[in-house]
Amino acid sequence: MSKGRIVIALGGNALEKKGMPATAEAQFEVVRETCRHLARIEKSGWDMAIVHGNGPQVGRLLLASETAKHVTPVLPFDVCGAMSQGYIGYHIQLAMKEALKEIGKGYIPVTTLVTQVIVDSGDPGFRKPSKPIGPFYSKEEAEQLTAERGYSMQEDPAGRGWRRVVASPEPKRIVERDTIKRLWDSTILIACGGGGIPTIINDKGELQGVDAVIDKDFAAELLAEEVEADLLMILTEVEKVSLHFNTPQQQDLSCMSVEEAWQYIKEGHFAPGSMLPKVSAGVKFVNSGPGRKAIITSLDKALDALEGRTGTVIQA
């Protein structure tokens, strides 16, 4: 008997560990441990889909392409995003099948779906790109890239150089949603990797990839809405959401109502690019339908959180 549908958003620590080399082999070892935790969730009775980030990986693909520009043409950012979905998904597929075999469920298919996510070409984020991607450049190199390729470049606040910045628009619709719905009952799906490939509908009515990064937590929330999931679980490095994080006054939260979450957001408790999008995505999902809830916790505490022993629950 299924406990319901769950969409799980994996944080960066589920793919890489600090201090380990940034190699494909090292990533696969981390993913192996991640999938052992996910397999336990499957064994407990939940039907799942998995969404992952891709920040470091897509940055390395872009860097490799830029470095080889004298040998082969530089790849567009949306193409790098698609490549990252493929190779991260491949690692999760391999590791998830191993983990499922360990619990006697090796017969369950695991499939990666290269996923496009439609965004609004008029989204305010396109007018003021702010998401840094790729390597650091000198001021002269940044000016050259702006002139030659039309990149938006921004100086790093820590003084490490200049980086390309792209928009981070709000996801509106998942192009492959009908395929995802058809596969749901038979397959563990890995979808919307890296937030999905940002896509607009151009003047010809055609889909067109754009240089942007969709926040993976908001993409996971949209996926959870579109498959009518019961639960959105966002996994990160901390066991619980906190007020006054990393101060002597830190207060860990076991639960938040939507109203409380909004108040904490207004008070500035959650950092942009860190906990803020996670809480905001959780609130959005809870508001999307009756009986829905979100949980934010760490990967190693995921099953405990599902069983009510830890984590931060957001509910109406």
Is 13 among the catalytic positions?
Answer: yes
State the catalytic residue, choosing from 125, 194, 195, 278: 278
Assign 3-class secondary structure to the chain: CCCEEEEEEECHHHCCCCCCCCCHHHHHHHHHHHHHHHHHHHHCCEEEEEEECCHHHHHHHHHHHHHCCCCCCCCCHHHHHHHHHHHHHHHHHHHHHHHHHHCCCCCCCEEECCCEEEECCCCHHHHCCCEEEEEEECHHHHHHHHHHHCCEEEECCCCCCEEEEEECCCEEEECCHHHHHHHHCCCEEECCHHHCEEEEECCCCCEEECCECCCHHHHHHHHHHHCCCCEEEEEECCCCEEECCCCCCCEEECEEEHHHHHHHHHCCCCCCCCHHHHHHHHHHHHHCCCCCEEEEEEHHHHHHHHCCCCCEEEEC
Is 12 among the catalytic positions?
Answer: yes
Is 17 among the catalytic positions?
Answer: no
Is 266 among the catalytic positions?
Answer: no
State the catalytic residue, choosing from 97, 216, 240, 301: 216
Is 204 among the catalytic positions?
Answer: no
State the catalytic residue, choosing from 97, 131, 240, 301: 131
Q: Which residues are catalytic?
A: 12-13, 131, 216, 278
